[in-house]
Structure 1
């Protein structure tokens, strides 16, 4: 394989290459308030643990801290414009479910709603927080998962920075190269 020619690249724009995964919608609720936010900063920490960075200035941060629950919802390409618009306003001023025509589906294990239009939704309970002055990291345990039967591999949204998204596309398999014990069931 040929080595690509490299040049200096701005450190503050490395998300263009390293964004951890698909953009998700995090829904929270506490008493009579509910919120939904766009989130690109999350990571798998185990088979049923997900870490999310929720900035303290987000209304969702306060609801997540108080309720200790959320749902993590996986939007696909048809929701792209709504995903961007959800990220451009605050749930403290507007009910985003109403504004963007989203269906708040009652969850079974948590009080936060699922987003009905999303391909998948995960009901989560707070496992622990790692909140420092600069990095409010919530670690969630997924209690229940819901996913559409098809497509099996949906066209998820991946933020590249600078207002650009990559939509999941062609998939390739290298299953034959894996040791059998390294493949999840």
Structure 2
């Protein structure tokens, strides 16, 4: 083993794909790039960190709802560019050629070009003040059957990303929990 810089240790734990978070507030839809999230419960419940400096923070706090969308690896450059500008100044749907679709349970839009979307409502804000951590309950899930390539991409934390690779099917080795099969 070799010592590794503590401030970069998060790179080893980055849990899931880079996602897009859409909100709608004061008549304006916005999109934010996010990689700091985790599944908390199978229901599904998601915890995510949204910095108070982000335009999305105020919208999420005010409306208490959003959509988490999963972009494919083919959208990686667009997703990074979305993260490099602010919704305060830029209409990100127009600027990046993305299509906002109406969600059924929240005012925030789905993103047509993504692989999947999860409509969410804020379930808990007790850790927002201290950690900027929102806990979200998924209320409706969507998938895009037209997207044949289902590869996602994951942040390594230093401006590099990895794309999903070969899948391992170990279902026969898993404990059978009927509610999750």
TM-score by length of 1: 0.91
Residue 67 in structure 1 maps to residue 63 in structure 2: yes
On the 8 A contact 1:130/1:136 being kept in 2, the answer is: no
Partner of residue 9, structure 1: 4
Structure 1: unaligned runs, 5 residues or longer: 1-5
How big is the shift at 1:177?
A: 1.4
Question: 2:80 & 2:122 partners in 1: Cα distance?
Answer: 26
Question: 1:62 & 1:34 partners in 2: Cα distance?
Answer: 13
Question: 2:104 & 2:161 partners in 1: Cα distance?
Answer: 32
Alignment map for 1:84-123 (pairs within 5 Å): 84-123=80-119
Structure 2: unaligned runs, 5 residues or longer: none
Runs (4+) off by over 6 Å? 150-153
Partner of residue 178, structure 1: 174
Question: 1:82 & 1:152 partners in 2: Cα distance?
Answer: 19
What does the per-residue CA deviation read over 1:120-156, in whole Å, with 9 as the maximum and x for residues that have no partner?
0011111111335441111111110001237688211
Partner of residue 3, structure 1: none
TM-score by length of 2: 0.93
How big is the shift at 1:74?
A: 0.1
Aligned length: 180
How big is the shift at 1:171?
A: 0.6
Cα RMSD of the aligned pairs, angstroms, is 1.7
- For the residue of structure 1 that corresponds to 2:121, the secondary structure is strand
